[in-house]
Structure 1
Amino acid sequence: MPYSPNSRRDPRRFSRGLAASCALALGSAVLSAAAPAAAAAGCEVDYTVNEWNSGFTASVEITNLGDALDGWTLEWEFPDGQEVTGAWNAEIDQSGSAVTAESVAYNAAMSTGGTASFGFQATHSGQNGAPGGFTLNGTVCDGSAGGDDGSGDDGDDGGGGGDPQPSGSPAGWAGENGGTTGGAGGATVAVDTAQELTDAMTASGPAVIEVHGSIALSGMNDVTSDKSVIGAEGARITGGGIDVDEAHNVIIRNIAFADWDDDAINVQDGSTNVWIDHNSFTRGDDGAVDIKRESDFVTVSWNHVFDHAKSMLLGHSDDHTADRGHLRVTYHHNFFDGSGSRHPRVRFGETVHVYNNYYRDNAEYGVASTMGAGVLVENNYFENVEHPTHVGYADSAAGRLEAVGNAFENSGAPETAGSVAGVPYSYTPDPAQDVPAIVTDGAGPGNI
């Protein structure tokens, strides 16, 4: 289950279909609408509940990942006998556990990449489990543009399998604010020299940039909005790094970074919706992945850091108070393998979500929360780490840090302080005891 204290909203996301819109009065009458104009080709659904005693409200938002629709129907089944008592922005009919929500005139049209939303009020008794699946216009959706015939999952949530150019959006903060798709829809450009790479990264418009072989860079090199920089098998970048500067919707994936002279990846100056996934980082001069200067909605997942000191900084400096209200970042399933510190070191950000990471033999510390930051450290595995977490560090004032469900092997006790706001997305963390096997098997290049 997602981390959600009783006083907080319990957001649940499903890669499923959806329908929406119009006030509803439930009763014995069956509501009807015109048949949808087309089958859905793919979609994603946010299902968020706010519950009390025996009642709850639910908000549902659909993102259409397939062809444009002119009319749509969402169907699902409640697992625990929940009953809808009222709704808005949709026509809803319920028969037993089966529920159907249909579009109305003003939201029947949904373009590719478009969204629609609706809500309802319902009752429950005891349990209030989320629907196990949704269908849109008769198609079971899985978060990808290709749909699903029910035979298996062909989407990609930032975990193990999938195509080099991922479909849908990643788990965590990079899935919010409209999601992160990188260069999807643009041309695919293969590069194997520094000049080709830097030219492709700074070209206008969306593009999927396939990195082949080993490319030597110098200094920091800009990448512009709507780009996916994806390593082919064995891809390496050495000597320099990638600068995500005032950019939006960028994916950097499946690349081995080594021996950089500044940062390997630097995200700064208000950049948003960035996904850094399945890379490795070793022997660099400064940060492996630094995120700062009002950047936001970032996910850092399934990376392997080894033989390196300064891993992941979040927040520019103690004086850069403009970072307050930004720096919403998720770190999950990363392998911090003998790296020294900053896994991450956080200033100002909230909520920074650190879950299912494997910390092994980290010389200085695991996670540090400073300058009023709010950090949730959940279901991680710490092995031979004397200081799993710090509240305050060096000259930086204390932040807030909650530690939930972590495992500690030959490690010290975590420092904690205060409370931290929940996250608005759904996720299902792996048990902490399973993290070493899961992460060592899946983190780094070549494991997508």
Structure 2
Amino acid sequence: MLRRALLLAGAATATLVLAMTATGAQAATLLSDDFEDGNATGWSTNGGSWSVTTDGSGVYRQGGTSSDARALAGTSSWTDYAMQARVKPTAFNGGNRFAAVLARVQSSTSYYYLALRSNNTVELKRLDGGSSTTLDTASVTVSAGTWYTLRLEVAGSSLRGYVNGALLTEASDTRWSSGRVGLATFYTSANFDDVQVTTGAVTPPSSNPPSSSPPTSEPPAQPNVADGWASVNAWGQNGTSGGAGGSTVTVTSASAFLSAIAQPGPLTVRVQGMLTLPGPMHDVTSDKTIIGVGSGSGLTGGGLNIGLPIDDDITAPPANAVHNVIVRNLNFRGWPDDAINVQMFSHHIWIDHNTWTTGTDGGVDVKRGSSYVTISYNHADGTDKNMLLGHDDDNGAQDIGRLKVSYHHNWFDGTEQRNPRVRFGDQVHVYNNHYNDTGNYGVASTENAGVIVEGNSFENVEDPYHLGEGSSGDGRLVARDNCLVNSGSGQTGGSVSPVSYAYTLQPCAQVKATVTAQAGAGRITG
């Protein structure tokens, strides 16, 4: 069993421990402590009541709930590293308390920290002389008595915070470039275990590729949590957190992947490499995050089905509808039906930063009463039937009043049609996407759908948006603030109510540069 490897400056007996990263690069383990040796040698405390005890195995416990408390280790010369620990809050003394991991610690009142709070948030913060600044925040279910894995990565000015393997917070800050590590609680008792501090595999994100038309102002930050319709509190689900709160598994084979996505309960599934699936589509259960590792991971030969089996007699969302699913950073190739299919009242689905190329049918289809879906920062490269919303003109019983989907910052790159094609959905929000060289048409609103087409960039698109399509009757479409470069004027008609969520609209002249630099797999950390 790995006990403790602690490298302190000037310690003649210290031994360097090497670990292999997922990519095969060597990473130095600066500190590893599972507290199985029964002591906390190397840790210094400030406040609280710290002791090594057992919770199934050895843990470092902070038992007080009447103040803030810290335990620090390491050396001030540590610069770029990842600080990770398992954290189990055991009691919160109030409604906004936390347990945290610390990085680049200067003193007991100055450091960066990733805090798991009792108000169901995780916060990436800076404490400077006792004054705290929130750098980023995200929603996550937090329960006393539950283990969570917190990971705080610091590399140059880049700060990233993970919960159970999912990247939820991200920021840039230059206040400190080195420092110690630590554990902390604020009016909270907690157990800490399996502390790991590693360096060598943590690097700042690469710069975006150049664009021929750079934005005139700072592009919007890419979301670390679901926004748009997937963020709305509805149908018994408040926002979309995927597998947060569950364990994390990395899969390298099709059989392991299919087993993981079929498991009940919250789970983060990290896909490493291109996995060849049997066709056509494979069911995903509720409360899952499926995320690719690096830029070259994904699925070929088969796709994902997020939804119950088709039943035309069900006309209202069932209690067991699939919900709370995140799909990110995957490459989809050679699918025989749909790359991603969302159906049968599935809700709170976030499909983000994926790339799909050639397949038989849709890239992402949403149908049969599904709702509260956000499709963002994806790269559709030459797809024909790209994104269908609402499968049939005769399906109003399931679809009317539903099919609420946000499409934003997607790159429709030489796609043919259905970008999206909408039946019944209201309000469908298509904003800040980039379309280039579209073959047939961009957006179609049919069967009384309500579609808002806003702040998009159309380049070499003869028919950017219109009403009706094929045998489907007209819908309603409102277009505003779009850029039409060497493109048609589009067709609008009717009115659409505003969406009920907050969002920031980027000027359409800046959208092309932002989207081509940021959309698709490999632009986020998996």
| TM-score, length-scaled by structure 2 | 0.58
The SS at the match of 2:495 is coil
The alignment status of 1:311 with 2:386, answered yes or no, reads: yes
The alignment status of 1:386 with 2:380, answered yes or no, reads: no
Query: Compared with structure 1, are the counterparts of its residues 444 and 307 closer, same or farther at alpha carbon in structure 2 (3 Å cutoff)?
Result: same
Q: Which of 355, 359, 372 is the matching residue for 1:280?
A: 355
Structure exhibiting the larger radius of gyration computed from Cα positions:
2
Q: Distance in 2 between matches of 1:265 and 1:382?
A: 25
The SS at the match of 1:143 is strand
Counterparts of 1:220-239 in structure 2, within 5 Å, are 220-233=281-294, 234-239=296-301
Query: 1:70 is matched with which residue?
Result: 94
The alignment status of 1:186 with 2:246, answered yes or no, reads: yes
Q: Distance in 2 between matches of 1:437 and 1:158?
A: 24
The alignment status of 1:406 with 2:400, answered yes or no, reads: no
Query: 1:354 is matched with which residue?
Result: 430
Kept after mapping to 2: 8 A contact 1:142/1:153: no
Q: Percent identity?
A: 48
Q: Aligned partner of 1:143: which letter? A: T
**1:91-125 deviation line (CA, Å, top 9, x unaligned):** xxxxxxxxxxxxxxxxxxx95539xxxxxxxxxxx
Q: Distance in 1 between matches of 2:514 and 2:352?
A: 15
The SS at the match of 1:200 is helix
The alignment status of 1:113 with 2:120, answered yes or no, reads: yes
Query: Compared with structure 1, are the counterparts of its residues 160 and 199 closer, same or farther at alpha carbon in structure 2 (3 Å cutoff)?
Result: farther
Q: Aligned partner of 1:343: which letter? A: N
Q: Which of 505, 510, 519 is the matching residue for 1:434?
A: 510
The alignment status of 1:363 with 2:439, answered yes or no, reads: yes
Counterparts of 1:78-89 in structure 2, within 5 Å, are none
Q: Which of 331, 337, 342 is the matching residue for 2:407?
A: 331
Query: Compared with structure 1, are the counterparts of its residues 260 and 71 closer, same or farther at alpha carbon in structure 2 (3 Å cutoff)?
Result: closer
Query: Compared with structure 1, are the counterparts of its residues 69 and 255 closer, same or farther at alpha carbon in structure 2 (3 Å cutoff)?
Result: farther
Q: Distance in 2 between matches of 1:138 and 1:335?
A: 38
Q: Distance in 1 between matches of 2:431 and 2:170?
A: 14
Kept after mapping to 2: 8 A contact 1:168/1:181: no
The alpha carbon displacement at 1:219 in A equals 0.9
The alpha carbon displacement at 1:71 in A equals 4.6
Q: Distance in 2 between matches of 1:195 and 1:258?
A: 18
Kept after mapping to 2: 8 A contact 1:160/1:442: no
The SS at the match of 2:301 is strand
Q: Aligned partner of 1:269: which letter? A: M
Kept after mapping to 1: 8 A contact 2:379/2:411: yes
Query: 2:137 is matched with which residue?
Result: 143
Q: Distance in 2 between matches of 1:348 and 1:314?
A: 8
Q: Distance in 2 between matches of 1:419 and 1:276?
A: 28
Aligned residues: 325
| TM-score, length-scaled by structure 1 | 0.67
Q: Distance in 2 between matches of 1:351 and 1:143?
A: 27
Kept after mapping to 2: 8 A contact 1:279/1:444: yes
Counterparts of 1:89-238 in structure 2, within 5 Å, are 111-113=118-120, 140=134, 142-144=136-138, 169-177=225-233, 178-217=238-277, 218-233=279-294, 234-238=296-300
Q: Aligned partner of 2:453: which letter? A: V
Q: Distance in 2 between matches of 1:347 and 1:436?
A: 27
Q: Distance in 2 between matches of 1:329 and 1:138?
A: 36
Query: 2:24 is matched with which residue?
Result: none
Kept after mapping to 2: 8 A contact 1:142/1:154: no
Q: Distance in 2 between matches of 1:248 and 1:69?
A: 32
The alpha carbon displacement at 1:302 in A equals 0.4
Q: Distance in 2 between matches of 1:152 and 1:438?
A: 20
The alpha carbon displacement at 1:424 in A equals 1.2
Query: 1:254 is matched with which residue?
Result: 329
In structure 2, the gaps of 5 or more residues are 1-64, 69-88, 98-116, 122-130, 141-149, 162-166, 173-203, 206-221, 308-320
Query: 1:420 is matched with which residue?
Result: 496
Q: For the aligned residues, what is the CA RMSD?
A: 3.0
Query: Compared with structure 1, are the counterparts of its residues 158 and 442 closer, same or farther at alpha carbon in structure 2 (3 Å cutoff)?
Result: farther
